[in-house]
């Protein structure tokens, strides 16, 4: 669910050309001092994948293994835990 109390971070999308099409993945880094549970998806594959990130942890989430095109828009939403403030999801390219 997307709505109030959720962050809108700028995730980093990556595309790799494979023999079967394009692999889309989204890199997410938790810049918070607390663990977060995030919902990761893209405009090409709206199926939500849930990831748990410890403080300072990072992960790559593959959202499509054989996409016909290289373009996609990554999305990451992390509901704010009660009393924790707003999550800080960092993009190492910023």
Domain at 69, CATH number: 2.60.40
Q: Please, which pLDDT band fits residue 79 given cuts at 50, 70 and 90?
A: confident
The 10s digit of each residue's pLDDT in 10-48 is 578 999 999 999 999 999 988 888 888 999 999 999 999
Residue 62 in any domain: the answer is yes
Residue 86 in any domain: the answer is no
Sign of the CA dihedral with 30 first, then 35, 39, and 41 last:
positive
Q: How far apart are CA 86 and CA 36, in angstroms?
A: 10
Q: How far apart are CA 9 and CA 21, in angstroms?
A: 27
Residue 7 in any domain: the answer is no
Residue 23 in any domain: the answer is yes
- What is the longest distance spanned by two Cα atoms in the chain? 47
The total number of structural domains in the chain stands at: 1
In the structure encoding, which two tokens stand for residue 77, read together?
């939403």
């Amino acid at each position: 669910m997307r709505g109030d109390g959720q962050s809108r971070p700028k995730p980093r999308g990556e595309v790799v050309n494979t023999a079967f099409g394009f692999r889309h993945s989204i890199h997410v880094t938790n810049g918070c001092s607390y663990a977060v549970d995030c919902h990761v998806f893209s405009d090409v594959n709206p199926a939500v994948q849930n990831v748990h990130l410890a403080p300072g942890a990072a992960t790559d989430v593959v959202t499509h293994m054989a996409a016909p095109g290289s373009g996609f828009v990554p999305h990451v939403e992390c509901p704010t835990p009660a009393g924790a403030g707003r999550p800080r999801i960092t993009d190492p390219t910023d």
